[in-house]
Every structure is written in C-alpha cells, then in structure tokens.
Amino acid sequence: MQANGQILRVIIVSFLIAIFLGPVVIPVLKRLKVGQSIREEGPKSHFTKAGTPTMGGIIIILAVIISLFTSGYYTQEVWAGLFFTVAFGLIGFLDDYLKVVLRRNLGLRAYQKIIGQLIFAVILALYGSRYSAYGTKLIIPFFNAYIDLGILYIPFVLFVVLSIVNAVNLTDGLDGLNTGVTLIVMAAFSLIANSMKDVNPIYAGISVFAAGVSGACLGFLKHNANPAKVFMGDTGSLALGGAVSAVAVMSNMVLLIPIIGGIYFIEALSVVIQVLYYKRTKKRVFKMAPLHHHYEMCGWKETKVVAVFWIVTVILAFIGIYSV
C-alpha cells in the first residue's frame, strides 16, 4: 500500500486504539492506586486533581505499537522511530513505577534518568549520522539549503535530543497540553516528510511513523482533555520526547524544532531563566515555571492556557511547513 494510504490508516487505527484502551487501562491504574501527587506550591485549582491516575502514557505507546505493527508498512525508519519511543518511554515508566507503585518518593534519581537518556541519545545520534535522510547534514529552514556538521554532528545532536526529550517532559503539566501540542507537532512533521518522499524514500517511513504518534495523541485526548481522567506521566512525556527526537533526527530537521516545537522551547527556556535568575538574585522572573503555570498564577483558566498554547503551536506548525 502507498504511504499516503498508510498515513490515513495508521492515524485512524492508532486513534481508535487509544480511545478503546482508555476504559481498559484506566481502571487498572486506579486499582493499582497510581494517583498523581500535586505540588503544594502550585496553582490551588490543581489540588482537585490529586489521585488522578497517572502512567497513562502506556495507552499512547500501545496505540503506536499496535497501529504500526498492523500497518503492513515496515521500513527501517518506522522501526527506528518505534524503538526510540519505547526506549525513552521505558525510562519514564521506571520513574513512574518507582514513585507511584512502589511509593519511592524520588523515583529514579536525576543522574539515573540522565544516564538512561544519554545512552539512547547517543544511539540516536549515531543512527542519524549513518542512516538519516542526509547523514550529518541538517536542513536549514527558509533557505532551501543544508549545513554539514561533520564531526560536530554527534555532539550537537546529542545536546538537541536531550533538550527535546526534557522540554517535552516539562510541557506536561496541564490537562491535554502536552498531548495536544505533540499531536500538532507530529502531524506537521508527517505532512512535511510526506511531501519530501519523492526526493528521498526515507521520508515515507518517517511520515507514517509520525502519523501513528499523532493519531495516538488524538485518541488519548479523549481521556486526557480537561477534566483529565488520566495523566500521561513521565511514561508518556518521555516517550513522546523520544518520538519527536527520532523524527527530527531521521529527517535531518532538528533545526525545525525551535519553530514547530516552539512551545517546547519556550517552556524549557522559562525554567532555565527562572533557575538561573533565582540563583543570582533570589528573585523570580515568572510567578511559577514552566511558563504554563505562570499564566495560571496570573489568573488564566487552565483551559485557556491550553487553548492558547495549541493555537500558537498550529501557527508555528504552518510557519515550519512553509519554511521547508
């Protein structure tokens, strides 16, 4: 079957699987009492969310796996994208499992998470240098040109992957926020990759994989939109970070992330600014970081923050699509 038909099929299948898995997985999570803990210093409106099941990212991961395994469209890029999604998701799953199932407050220690992320980021960088669409070259948005990083490719991509994964993780904090933003980001990458499949056949597989993730996010919104019946947890946010990273690296479009994934970028930047400024002055730039909490503390309703961030992502996605 042609890639165009597979894109539509994978979106529909992953969407439906994510919807139907909700009533199966959520009761199990409730029985395991894997409820979300709420930060005391956070917005007071979040206190009502205490105890909402987390680790719902399992639904997204299973939807992507099943939709791709049943697609009949098996390319190296599809398998690679799936591998890195599951790999980073596994780190999040272990962290969630230790925190909410085994009741170990800290979960994985920071250095353990970084080591795990670093291992898979190195593998992804090495993979990209050899098997991506254009090797060590990166597409430069708006200029219809490439830049060959050569020996600098691996350290640069390593930094980018770690940044993306953790930025996507930071974007998870409001009902439907990360799910909706990633849905739009992956849909944009799928459209871009599909438009380039005649230039390089690698892009067909990338497009199908991105479509599968996008469809899974769309289905997960049924359970995660306000008021959320389940949170994705680190299981989902790190898996999505791995998926976004894999698509960006395999397509040589990591320079598009600050554009299409602008929300990820500004969320992470707000945390960096907050931490550095506080260490220097003992004062805060934002009422609370990441940025979505700042707007909540300014009086915006959670649904308004999410809607605005979605709209901004749509606009940025169109800009990103135009740029290539």
The predicted model gives 46-61 an average pLDDT of: 84
Give the model's pLDDT for residue 35: 63
CA distance 54 to 56: 5
pLDDT of 76 above 50: yes
- Is 265 within 8 Å of 258 (Cβ atoms)? yes
pLDDT of 51 above 80: no
Among all chains, which residue has been given the structure tokens 């920071």? 110
| Ordered alpha helix ranges (H), the chain | 3-31, 57-69, 76-96, 110-131, 153-170, 177-195, 202-224, 233-250, 257-260, 262-281, 291-297, 302-323
What digits encode the pLDDT tens for the residues 147-187?
Answer: 999 999 999 999 999 999 999 999 998 999 999 999 999 99
The predicted model gives 12-30 an average pLDDT of: 95
Q: Chain centroid to CA 284: how far?
A: 27
The predicted model gives 90-109 an average pLDDT of: 83
Average pLDDT, the chain: 92
In Å, what is the CA distance from 114 to each residue of 110, 136, 165, 238, 280?
A: 6, 24, 11, 12, 25
What digits encode the pLDDT tens for the residues 182-205?
Answer: 999 999 999 999 999 999 999 999
- Is 263 within 8 Å of 308 (Cβ atoms)? no
CA distance 149 to 135: 10
pLDDT of 2 above 80: no
**Across the strands, what pairs with 53?**
35
102 class by beta-carbon count within 10 Å (0-12 exposed, 13-18 middle, 19+ buried): exposed
What digits encode the pLDDT tens for the residues 268-310?
Answer: 999 999 999 999 998 999 999 999 999 999 999 999 999 999 9
Band of the pLDDT at 6, cuts 50, 70, 90?
confident
- Is 240 within 8 Å of 234 (Cβ atoms)? no
Range in 1-5, 213-217, 229-233, 283-287 the model is least confident about: 1-5
Band of the pLDDT at 32, cuts 50, 70, 90?
confident
pLDDT of 16 above 70: yes
- Is 226 within 8 Å of 302 (Cβ atoms)? yes
DSSP 137: E
Give the model's pLDDT for residue 1: 47
Buried b / exposed e along 9-46 (16+ C-beta atoms within 10 A): bbbebbbbbbbebbeebbeebeeeebbbebeeeebeeb
Both tokens of 301, joined, read: 């309703």
pLDDT of 47 above 60: no
What digits encode the pLDDT tens for the residues 108-149?
Answer: 888 899 999 999 999 999 999 999 999 999 999 999 899 999
Give the model's pLDDT for residue 72: 85
pLDDT of 49 above 80: no
Band of the pLDDT at 11, cuts 50, 70, 90?
very high
Both tokens of 81, joined, read: 């994208």
Q: Is 138 helix (H, G, I), strand (E, B) or coil?
A: strand
The predicted model gives 235-260 an average pLDDT of: 97
Residue 305 sits at the vertex; the CA angle it makes with 302 and 308, to the nearest 5 degrees, is: 145
| Ordered alpha helix ranges (H), 51-176 | 57-69, 76-96, 110-131, 153-170
